[in-house]
């Protein structure tokens, strides 16, 4: 299985602390050594970095840890290959355009014998079940809405679509269009919200403690979503099985 990391923030924020601990799981403290990737939204722009090498030893990952980019929505992934060879085209996150916006998707889980019918606009480049699921979701969202709908409408549509994918196996995923971040849990996913009054946090996978009170202003806020908690001294909340959450401005948003 793979591991996921997402940040949804009220103000542009760098992911260097979380990304540093997360990268150790890509071949150092864990066995997810079959590629990695990270995507940063900047307004309507997108910076996407992927590599088929392990994150713990990647020179590109080292560069990004030392040269942090700030964003309000960040999605990262370290891969343990189950379906699809270890190739660059199979590295997550994946990106597609819909309604004139970049969409980014990363997946953890296995979808057995999953071969959805895909039309010409959304086709996989690689051979993973994850990219096929992403293409199908984009296709069905495009069929359901004539233009970019609200975050609430998108959340309701995703809720209707997900059972059609879920019956093929597990689909833990992160999805963003730069406005919001959607997180779905089939088996395991956790989140926390860092906000004023900020405290210290210590990574589990590396000896590094940060006092966020020294780095943040009262208006800063960040939701961190991850497969397995990254820090040892913060309160993480586990998702319920088959729960879909959407995060906006660093907070989970309730959609009835």
Q: Which residues are catalytic?
A: 2
Cβ 16 vs Cβ 67: under 8 Å: no
Cβ 91 vs Cβ 122: under 8 Å: no
DSSP code of residue 233: S
- Residue 133, burial from CB neighbour count under 10 angstroms (0-12, 13-18, 19+): buried
Residue 63: which residues within 8 A CB-CB, separation 6 or more? none
| Coarse DSSP helix, strand, coil percentages of the chain, rounded to the nearest 5 percent | 20, 35, 40
């Amino acid at each position: 299985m793979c591991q996921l990391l997402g940040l949804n923030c009220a103000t542009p924020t760098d992911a260097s602390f979380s990304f540093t601990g997360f990268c150790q799981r890509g071949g150092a403290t864990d066995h997810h050594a079959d590629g990695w990737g990270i995507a940063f939204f900047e307004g309507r722009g997108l910076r996407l970095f992927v590599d088929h090498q392990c994150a713990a030893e990647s020179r590109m990952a080292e560069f990004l840890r030392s040269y942090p980019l700030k964003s309000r929505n960040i999605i990262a992934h370290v891969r343990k290959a189950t379906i699809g060879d270890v190739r660059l085209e199979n590295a997550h996150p994946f990106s597609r355009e819909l309604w004139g916006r970049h969409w980014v998707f990363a997946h953890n889980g296995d979808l057995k014998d999953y071969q959805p019918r895909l039309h010409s606009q959304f086709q996989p480049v690689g051979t993973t079940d994850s990219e096929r699921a992403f293409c199908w979701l984009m296709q069905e969202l495009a069929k359901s809405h004539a233009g970019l709908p609200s975050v609430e409408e998108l959340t309701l549509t995703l809720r209707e679509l997900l059972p059609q994918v879920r019956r093929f196996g597990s689909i833990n995923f992160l999805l963003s269009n730069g406005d919001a971040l959607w997180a779905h849990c089939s088996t395991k996913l956790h989140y926390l919200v860092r906000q004023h009054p900020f405290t210290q946090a210590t990574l589990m996978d590396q000896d590094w403690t940060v006092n966020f009170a020294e780095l943040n202003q009262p208006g800063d806020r960040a939701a961190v979503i991850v497969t397995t908690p990254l820090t040892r001294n913060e309160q993480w909340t586990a998702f319920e099985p088959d729960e879909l959450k959407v995060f906006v401005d660093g907070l989970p948003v309730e959609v009835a």
